[in-house]
Structure 1
Amino acid sequence: MASFLLRGRFFQCGSDVHRAATAARPFCSSVAPGRLRVNGADLYYEQTGRGKHAVLLLPGALGSTKTDFGPQLKSLNKERFTVVGWDPRGYGRSRPPDRDFRSDFFERDAKDAVDLMKALGFGKFSLLGWSDGGITALIAAARNPKLITKMVVWGSNAFVSQHDLQLYHAVRDVSKWSARMRQPMEEVYGAEVFAKTWEAWVDGITQFAHRPEGSICVDLLPLISCPTLIVHGEKDPMVPSFHPQFLLKHIKASRLHLMPEGKHNLHLRFADEFNTLVENFLEE
């Protein structure tokens, strides 16, 4: 379970807002990195493509553009889409600050994500959110219905059940993981910071289990109005099937696509199939 968590839950370019010089090529077909100061944090992003349809990629827990979305930045159609990947504050290259997991960390990420896209000049855009990034996308879409064109989420949940807690706490201690599975995150964060941040994430996600119904964003789902594609890998060991079914029931303009062999990192394992699915949905 620990190894799949690594490959799954988080693996797999004004006075408060200013554009960095490295972001001067917004429509280049190659990946252009940049930094913007948004809501008091210096956020790293990568941008590629020159299409009219802007798409933001939202990574999972402790994830980043580098670790989570290589196949999407490389292969999503650059003529039809402008694709932006970002590292949420405290993750990847958006450090400092160190990551914390206060009670509104998903709401904070959602505001940062939307404000980043606004700062980049996008009036409307779609969201592709994986795992924790999917939760962030759900909140962003609910809070900003006029800005979000479409949304794709996978490996995501709107509440934390007791079963979910068992999965999270089983892998809390990263020293029990194999060295091979620790290595990629230790390369990003260093061994000590990685272990500390992962434990903090487990504590952060646990706090939602103490809320009524374990809600992270249950009350916001009816506010989502954009067409939404929910993708679920039927062999996902981290997200039981009741989670995508719950999203399908409570997001009115949604539909569910099942991938029988998909696990949590289905967008990496089956990148071509996933990218085609997403492109077709976004272009409908």
Structure 2
Amino acid sequence: MLVRLCYRGRLLPRLLFSPQKPRIYFPAAGRVVILPRTSVTSAKVSVNGVHLHYQQTGEGEHAVLLLPVMLGCGENDFAPQLKNLSKKLFTVVAWDPQEYGHSRPPDRDFQVDSFERDAKDAVDLMKMLKFKKVSLLEWSDGGITALFAAVKYPSYINKMVIWGANAYVTEEDERIYQGIWDVYKCSEKTRRSLEALYGYDYLSKTCEKWVDGIGLLKHLPDGNICRNLVLLVPCPTLIVHREKDPLVPRFHADFIHEHVKGSWLHLMPEGKLNMHLHFANEFNKLAEDFLQ
């Protein structure tokens, strides 16, 4: 597959990375646990007054948190990453943000500060699990959450890989988002997995509430979500984008790349928004190389 890799607008043939020495332990809730490398543990922990569900795997010293899309959860959104990211190099945690997945009840509430709230929950969850520093792999809404986390907690975030994220909302975005009001416009496979997790009524209602919440952001000056923050992102950041993404136009990836100092842009001509699922091997290799 042909790809292009850019660093702040310049075409690069490849990136060079230094190897990281792995460890065989990972911290979990205040104690050291030793598990087979293939094990995935699931648990809930109380964070900021809510019970957050997470899955954890691996034994590496480099902690990586996976942040899902709207209505996403770890088991649905990141199965190939939980299974195949290097368990020697990384300890991988996939979480369900409050009111998503298995971090319910209550029902999801969308406000202008929802992404910032999720960023605090994500960081506090990883601190609760005794990780001293963390890298972020984040998809769509999770990418927005990660941008907040990187700016609000700069000493805690090591590196980021983001895809499908946007720092602001345009008229074009709003037209695209109106298309997800009807959950039956989703692919049958996606709809079935979401219905199995949420039930049709909650799924439909939450999609509508999400679109309404994005509408609130659209009416802020310049449709601002976090466009004023991207200049302040201090950590190395890899932005991955499918050039013909039907949900997130290319200009969003270009904007983040242009404004995040020290960022790389990796363009994939194939794949959908969930490219990390459809091209999991390629995506995982890209993420592993960057995080190392």
Normalised by the length of structure 1, the TM-score is: 0.89
SS at match of 2:127: helix
| Alignment match, 1:252 | 261
> Percent of aligned pairs with the same residue?
57
**Which residue identity does 2:128 align to in structure 1?**
A
| Alignment match, 1:211 | 220
Q: What is the CA–CA distance in structure 2 between the aligned matches of 1:146 and 1:86, rounded to whole Å?
A: 21
Q: What is the CA–CA distance in structure 2 between the aligned matches of 1:154 and 1:110, rounded to whole Å?
A: 16
Alignment counterpart, residue 42 of structure 1, candidates 23, 26, 51: 51
Residues 49 and 199 (structure 1), Cα distance of their counterparts in 2 relative to 1, 3 Å cut: same
- Indicate yes or no: 2:110 matched with 1:109: no
| Alignment match, 2:71 | 62
Q: What is the CA–CA distance in structure 2 between the aligned matches of 1:26 and 1:93, rounded to whole Å?
A: 25
- Indicate yes or no: 2:291 matched with 1:279: no
Name whichever structure is richer in helix by fraction.
Answer: 1
Q: What is the CA–CA distance in structure 2 between the aligned matches of 1:178 and 1:81, rounded to whole Å?
A: 32
8 Å contact 1:238–1:264 — kept in the other structure?
yes
Alignment of 1:142-221 (within 5 A): 142-175=151-184, 181-221=190-230
SS at match of 2:167: coil
- Indicate yes or no: 2:145 matched with 1:139: no
Q: What is the CA–CA distance in structure 2 between the aligned matches of 1:42 and 1:265, rounded to whole Å?
A: 27
- Indicate yes or no: 2:238 matched with 1:229: yes
Alignment of 1:62-101 (within 5 A): 62-101=71-110
8 Å contact 2:132–2:156 — kept in the other structure?
yes
Q: What is the CA–CA distance in structure 2 between the aligned matches of 1:83 and 1:131, rounded to whole Å?
A: 19
Q: What is the CA–CA distance in structure 1 between the aligned matches of 2:81 and 2:191, rounded to whole Å?
A: 23
Q: What is the CA–CA distance in structure 1 between the aligned matches of 2:286 and 2:86, rounded to whole Å?
A: 12
- Once the two structures are superposed, residues 13-59 of structure 1 have per-residue CA deviations (whole angstroms, 9 ceiling, x without a partner) of xxxxxx889x9847552101111100011000000000010000000
Instruction: Tell me: higher relative CO, structure 1 or 2? Use CA pairs within 8 A at least 6 residues apart.
Output: 2
8 Å contact 1:27–1:82 — kept in the other structure?
no
Deviation at 1:63, TM superposition (A): 0.3
Q: What is the CA–CA distance in structure 1 between the aligned matches of 2:61 and 2:188, rounded to whole Å?
A: 43
Normalised by the length of structure 2, the TM-score is: 0.87
| Alignment match, 2:139 | 130
Residues 175 and 264 (structure 1), Cα distance of their counterparts in 2 relative to 1, 3 Å cut: closer
8 Å contact 1:234–1:263 — kept in the other structure?
no
**Which residue identity does 2:55 align to in structure 1?**
E
8 Å contact 2:244–2:250 — kept in the other structure?
no
CA RMSD of aligned residues (A): 1.7
Residues 175 and 256 (structure 1), Cα distance of their counterparts in 2 relative to 1, 3 Å cut: closer
Name whichever structure is richer in strand by fraction.
Answer: 2
SS at match of 2:228: helix
Please identify, of 202-211 and 77-86, the stretch whose mean Cα deviation from structure 2 is larger.
202-211
**Which residue identity does 2:208 align to in structure 1?**
E
Residues 97 and 258 (structure 1), Cα distance of their counterparts in 2 relative to 1, 3 Å cut: same
Deviation at 1:174, TM superposition (A): 2.4
Residues 226 and 199 (structure 1), Cα distance of their counterparts in 2 relative to 1, 3 Å cut: same
Q: Which runs of 5+ in 2 are unaligned?
A: 1-27
Q: Which runs of 5+ in 1 are unaligned?
A: 1-18
